[in-house]
Chain A
Amino acid sequence: AQKVTQAQTEISVVEKEDVTLDCVYETRDTTYYLFWYKQPPSGELVFLIRRNSFDEQNEISGRYSWNFQKSTSSFNFTITASQVVDSAVYFCALSEEPNDYKLSFGAGTTVTVRA
């Protein structure tokens, strides 16, 4: 069964629009970690954020923000005032104790920002 679901396959926006990427996860563990990675056209995945299951505070980093809601098992990612450089594939991932090394990735959402 898919542990991480990214329902949006592709999103296309015009520069300066906001874009929100959805991520829904499934786990029975009380201790787990959620991640977002960005994969630009160059191919190398870039780590964006890690959240543990005990920290539900939302986080903002520049134009990026994350909304973690345990009640709905969601960890959504918003890019504010998108730029062409934000064009990439974005992956949400989950790791669970005790095998915290093992990341279960969602299928990814391709974001295209048009000038």
Chain B
Amino acid sequence: DVKVTQSSRYLVKRTGEKVFLECVQDMDHENMFWYRQDPGLGLRLIYFSYDVKMKEKGDIPEGYSVSREKKERFSLILESASTNQTSMYLCASRMIQGKNLYEQYFGPGTRLTVT
């Protein structure tokens, strides 16, 4: 079974803090994603990584950066957290070949509160 894990289920940070959200997948997937989920808006893509050290902006990259130094790990960084970044953050991964090509596998999410 594919497993995508996220470092924290719940996180509380103060405005202005630098925040790191970590995601690890164990299936050697090339693609990894960071989404945020807000009520009434569904999931919105923040960043996407094709492979190690490769990244592409999603729909809402402002205020975020990412790092992918190893294939299995994809980090989301909030350089200076703000209250409007309070949200549920979901990581996902996907293989680029095979019969499950288009299926994204999701982690359990990190609920971040910025006070």
Contacts and interface: CB of A to CB of B under 8 A. Distances in A.
A101 B94 contact: yes
A43 interface: yes
A17 interface: no
13 contacts: A4-B42, A9-B40, A42-B108, A43-B108, A43-B109, A47-B104, A50-B102, A95-B102, A100-B102, A102-B45, A103-B43, A103-B104, A107-B40
B88 interface: yes
Contacts of A100: 102
Given A103-B45, A105-B44, A106-B42, 19 more contacts: A4-B42, A6-B42, A33-B102, A37-B106, A44-B107, A44-B109, A45-B43, A45-B104, A45-B106, A46-B106, A47-B103, A91-B42, A95-B102, A100-B102, A101-B31, A103-B104, A105-B42, A105-B43, A107-B42
Contacts of A103: 43, 45, 104
Contacts of A45: 43, 90, 92, 104, 106
Contacts of B31: 101
Interface of B: 9, 31, 33, 40-45, 48, 58, 88, 90, 92, 94, 102-109
Contacts of A44: 106-109
Interface in A8-33: 9, 33
Interface string A30-58: 00010101000011111100100000000
B61 to A, nearest CB: 13
A107 B38 CA distance: 9
Contacts of B102: 33, 35, 50, 95, 100
B45 A47 contact: no
B88 A43 contact: yes
A6 B103 CA distance: 20
Contact of B58 (A4, A91, A102, A106): A102
A7 to B, nearest CB: 12
